[in-house]
Structure 1
Amino acid sequence: MKHFAIEQLQTVADVERDQPPLSRNQRIERWAELLELNPGKRLATLYQTEDLPSKKRELVRADGSPITVAFEDPILRAAGLEGDSYGDAKRFFQLTDYQLHRALCYCHFGGTVSAATAAHYVRKAVGNRRRNLIAWLWDTLAD
């Protein structure tokens, strides 16, 4: 008989455990930690998110983006992350458009961003649910 850790089994099967749900900050922190596992890895950015209407922005995704790293994690998927689109990340991690734009957009980094840099900007959202004036304006005028 072969023995496996729960985390190993979750990569090939739906394993349910009685765990309390992850808080918003725990989800964001896990995402940052996953990115930091391979800090030099180049990840795809999302092209010009600030120029898209909100309905189109929600659907934007790129293979190998920082959001893809989160979606590949069985723990975050089990916690409710449904996909690797901009909208999936915004809802699941409860981030503002401004926060996601700063961490993922092409206009800041070009075609790719290092996982370490993405982790830095993702982590800045931990505990920061206050909407400052810039974030409010960004979210209001982005549509």
Structure 2
Amino acid sequence: MKHHTLDQLRGIAQIVPGLSPHVAARRVRLERWAEVLESIRHRHLDTLHETEFQMQDERDALRSDYSPITIAFRDPVLRAAGIADDTYGEAKRFFEISDDELHEIVCYCRFGTTVSAAAAAREVRVILAGRPRNLWSRLSSFFIA
């Protein structure tokens, strides 16, 4: 095995900072998710159908091939931090968010069949801000992409 310094590696590879599973606090994981979504802001992602009407086991198993949760799962930094798959239940566990919070990011009833990555990122940032959702923030998320 040949050893290289970090500076040498930067010349031959893209260095992606990692998050240790023990160090990656909830806030850091949510911030990274928002950043990854913002990096593809104009893409339209799949929503999950009627999350609020599913039984808990069924809801936790919900997934789509191209949802905001899938984008998080595909990110190498979040994968290294411990996200195990792209299901609804895993997103709740990994990001330490409630059903109500995740519903605001991924549910069909909020956005229709697709949600822009920018709108999903805004919803993640609402969670980060810790502000209660008011009527204006709910209406603006429908009309501002």
TM-score interval (norm. to shorter): 0.7 to 0.9
Residue in 1 that maps onto 2:13: 4
Q: Is 2:21–2:82's contact at 8 Å kept on the other side of the alignment? A: no
Q: Is 2:21–2:80's contact at 8 Å kept on the other side of the alignment? A: no
2:112 pairs with 110, 113, 118, which one?
Answer: 110
Q: Could you list the runs of 5+ residues in structure 2 that have no partner in the other structure? A: 3-10, 133-145
Residue in 1 that maps onto 2:128: 126
Q: Quick check: which one's helix share is greater?
A: 2
Relative to structure 1, the CA distance from residue 52 to residue 71 in structure 2 (aligned partners, 3 Å threshold; closer, same or farther) is same
What CA distance in whole angstroms lies between the structure 2 residues aligned with 1:21 and 1:122?
20
What is the aligned-residue RMSD (CA, Å)? 2.5
Q: How far did 1:3 drift?
A: 2.3
Aligned length, in residue pairs = 123
Query: Could you tell me the percent identity over the aligned residues?
Result: 46
Q: SS at the partner of 1:68?
A: helix
Q: How far did 1:77 drift?
A: 0.6
TM-score between both structures, scaled by the size of structure 1: 0.78
Q: Which amino acid aligns with 1:96?
A: S
Q: Could you list the runs of 5+ residues in structure 1 that have no partner in the other structure? A: 11-15, 131-143
Q: How far did 1:20 drift?
A: 6.0
TM-score between both structures, scaled by the size of structure 2: 0.77
What CA distance in whole angstroms lies between the structure 2 residues aligned with 1:17 and 1:123?
19
Residue in 1 that maps onto 2:39: 37
Residue in 2 that maps onto 1:24: 26
What CA distance in whole angstroms lies between the structure 1 residues aligned with 2:43 and 2:122?
14
Relative to structure 1, the CA distance from residue 78 to residue 111 in structure 2 (aligned partners, 3 Å threshold; closer, same or farther) is same
